[in-house]
Amino acid sequence: RLSRRLDKIASLVPHGSRLADIGSDHALLPSYLAERGRISSAVAGEVNPGPYQAAAKQVRDALLHSRIDVRLGDGLAVIEPGEVDVITIAGMGGALIASILEAGRDKLAGVRTLILQPNVGESFVRLWLAEHRWVLTAEHILEEDGKIYEILTAEPESSARTTNEQVYRDRALGCGITVSRELLLKLGPYLIRQAERVWFDKWKLELQKLERIRSQLELSGLPESLRKKRELETEINEIKEVLACLQ
Ligand code: SAM
């Protein structure tokens, strides 16, 4: 059995895919999908020897070695261009996911779906996608063991039914405020529309963190800190306005 988070990611992998799961750790996701005949093949990539060994053992023990190839290497270096059509990268920071995509740009030709689950820093991932002709096509959010996770799905601009221009267009909400592209990159252009309870919970927690940082900046009293504090205040107020509007 998979965790709720991995189960949701698994459900988003199109049937019959050739999958690369980067940062696969114990190769749980590709194993689950291969055991159920939901993918035709998989590469499980790992940069660290410990998790790589764990993945190799899991695949061997489950007799899945003919369908899952476990490879040691950094990010997308473990795949060849055109080898896979779906890539999952889950359970790491958004900045790291964006840097893995950036470093492996030449490996993305022929990939039809990216399924990305940053633990933090989702806006780095949205920004990288938007700047590299990948269109965000869906967003999911869920809670597991007291943590809240977002899962972002993207397709190449050439095959997506929508465009980044449409996804991140300034959006007027019912109560008269307009949400900018910059705020949509943070809050999630689909998540804001779905406005699920767990999304509100996440942003209430994030606001508490931002307010703590604001107090620290205020205490420091340095001119640079005060400038940052004012920027943060604007951000906090914008987020509060959106939450109040949608609640
Ligand atoms: N993807 C699994 C999940 O979501 O449950 C495992 C997540 S685990 C917290 C993150 C894994 O990513 C670790 O096993 C780590 O070794 C691996 N990792 C970190 N940076 C990586 C990179 N640049 N390339 C490949 N794997 C990486």
Q: How many CA atoms lie within 13 A of 35 on its CB side?
A: 15
Q: Where do you find CATH 3.40.50.150 in the chain?
A: 4-162
| Alpha carbon of 234 to ligand 1 centroid (Å) | 35
Per-residue confidence (pLDDT) for residue 28, from 0 to 100: 98
- Structurally, at CATH architecture level, domain 4-162 sits in 3-Layer(aba) Sandwich (3.40)
Per-residue confidence (pLDDT) for residue 174, from 0 to 100: 85
pTM: 0.96
With tokens 């991932």, the residue in question is 125
Mutate to test the pocket of ligand 1, among 12, 19, 21, 22 (most ligand atoms within 8 A of CB): 22
Do the beta carbons of residue 144 and residue 3 sit within 8 Å? yes
Mutate to test the pocket of ligand 1, among 7, 48, 107, 149 (most ligand atoms within 8 A of CB): 48
Query: What fold, for 172-246?
Result: Helix Hairpins (1.10.287)
Residue with CA nearest ligand 1 atom 11? 23
| Alpha carbon of 28 to ligand 1 centroid (Å) | 12
Tell whether ipTM is more than 0.95.
yes
Q: Where do you find CATH 1.10.287.1890 in the chain?
A: 172-246
The pair of three-digit structure tokens given for residue 92, joined into one six-digit string = 């790491």
Query: Nearest CA to 247 among 192, 210, 205?
Result: 192
Residues contacting ligand 1 via CB (< 6 Å): 6, 22-25, 45-48, 51, 74-75, 90-92, 96, 100
Per-residue confidence (pLDDT) for residue 1, from 0 to 100: 85
Do the beta carbons of residue 136 and residue 151 sit within 8 Å? no
Per-residue confidence (pLDDT) for residue 247, from 0 to 100: 87
| Alpha carbon of 92 to ligand 1 centroid (Å) | 6
Residue with CA nearest ligand 1 atom 15? 23
Per-residue pLDDT of the chain (247 residues; tens, 9 = 90+): 899 999 999 999 999 999 999 999 999 999 999 999 999 999 999 999 999 999 999 999 999 999 999 999 999 999 999 999 999 999 999 999 999 999 999 999 999 999 999 999 999 999 999 999 999 999 999 999 999 999 999 999 999 999 999 999 998 998 889 999 999 999 999 999 999 999 999 999 999 999 999 999 989 888 899 999 999 999 999 999 999 999 8
Per-residue confidence (pLDDT) for residue 89, from 0 to 100: 98
Per-residue confidence (pLDDT) for residue 221, from 0 to 100: 82
